[in-house]
Amino acid sequence: MATSRQLVDDTKNTSCRLVTSLMPNQLLPSSFLKQLENHHLVSRCKSQLAGERLSRQKGGGMEFVEHKGYSAGDDLRYLDWNVYARNDQLTIKQFETSENIATYVLLDTSDSMNFGEPSKLLWGKQIAAAIGYLAMCRDDRFGIYPFADELETGMLSLRGRGQVNQVFDFIDGLQPGGKTNIGTSVQRFAAESGTGGLLFIISDFWDAEGLQRCLPYLLHNNFKIHALQILTPEEVDPGYSGELDLTDTESGERVLLTIRKGTLDQYRRELQASFRKLESILSIPATLYLRFMTGDAVENAVLRRFRHEGLLE
């Protein structure tokens, strides 16, 4: 992938617990990382990579699951002749296949993400690191790609558990800057990756039209898309009043605004309308829309919300 900085494929049998004990990076607390080691991301995406995870799709593989009655078109290689000899019935043996899932994160690093305390970008870095840790602990291929005006150079981990430190350092070092152009950035990612798999897009999604434009490219390449919207409490429920001098963090444009009750009511209506638009855009198969606030603990977002939505086992 032209935009990626590939790491060496580390296939040594290194446990994630050993990696955690050596990790100097403070993006995520070690207690949270230890909890993540007992879970994995769930996918129904097809994959051509051989690995340790059991696919939910039935087919040829190493672990027998069950029999089913023969139907026209079934692969004759999986007929169970022992059952036929005993019962004079044609049955097909079904297996679960092991696979690695390619997992990617596209992280919005535009200036609008550098807002709040903690900032949306810091919160996004933490949840991106948690997703990466879940993937790497299962020897899944993991890629992290920042974007703003365009898709930036990312980092691709080739199934190496020992690369956790490097990936975390890369995420931690990402800096805010530029305007959001999600359509162009994601379209380029889809064109250059072309592999399919799990895709998490982390952004404040103020550019909903851009997201709508790029979705067909991702779906065509067999990505399962998870849009994680991050907002601050101030954005959802602003407590401002009176005369304000506001500056757009991305354009630098200054706006003098008088905040009245009617102004806030209109803002909340438009905010809810933007939520409904995102929900509509992401209501198609192979997509999922989740909204978070920076006041939420990242640990709860992953261990509780992800599990509730069926993303974590």
- Domain segments of the chain as ranges: 4-46+101-231+287-308, 51-99
0.85 exceeded by pTM: no
What CA–CA distance (Å, rounded) separates 103 from 187? 17
pLDDT (0 to 100) of residue 87: 85
Q: Is 49 left (phi over 0), alpha (psi -120 to 50) or beta?
A: beta
CA neighbor of 201 nearest in space, from 102, 107, 101, 284? 107
Residue type, 123: W
Residue 241 is classified by DSSP as -
pLDDT (0 to 100) of residue 54: 44
Residue 209 is classified by DSSP as H
The highest-confidence range among 32-46, 86-100, 181-195, 233-247, by mean pLDDT, is 181-195
Residue 69 has pLDDT above 60, yes or no: yes
In the structure, what pLDDT confidence band is assigned to residue 138 with cuts at 50, 70 and 90?
A: confident
- CB atoms near residue 177 (< 10 Å): 15
Q: 35: number of CA atoms within 13 Å, CB side?
A: 14
Higher pLDDT, 161 or 295: 295
Average pLDDT over residues 114-137: 95
Q: Are strands 197-203 and 287-293 parallel, antiparallel or unpaired?
A: unpaired
Least confident segment among 65-69, 157-161, 285-289, 306-310: 157-161
Total length of the chain: 313
Higher pLDDT, 69 or 7: 69
pLDDT (0 to 100) of residue 159: 65
CA 65 vs CA 40, 41, 68, 94: distances in Å = 21, 22, 10, 6
pLDDT (0 to 100) of residue 224: 93
pLDDT (0 to 100) of residue 25: 64
Can you read off the two tokens belonging to residue 95?
A: 């297996």
Which helix or strand (DSSP H or E) is residue 298 part of? Answer: helix 298-300
pLDDT (0 to 100) of residue 29: 92
Per the DSSP assignment, residues forming a β-bridge with 67 are 93
Q: Are strands 91-100 and 63-69 parallel, antiparallel or unpaired?
A: antiparallel
Query: Is CATH 3.30.930.10 correct for 4-46+101-231+287-308?
Result: no
Residue 50 has pLDDT above 50, yes or no: no
**Which residues, 6+ apart, have CB-to-CB distance to 44 below 8 Å?**
56, 57, 224
Sign of CA dihedral 294, 300, 305, 310: positive
pLDDT digits (tens, 9 = 90+) for 240-262: 655 555 555 655 666 555 666 67
pLDDT digits (tens, 9 = 90+) for 176-196: 999 999 999 999 999 888 778
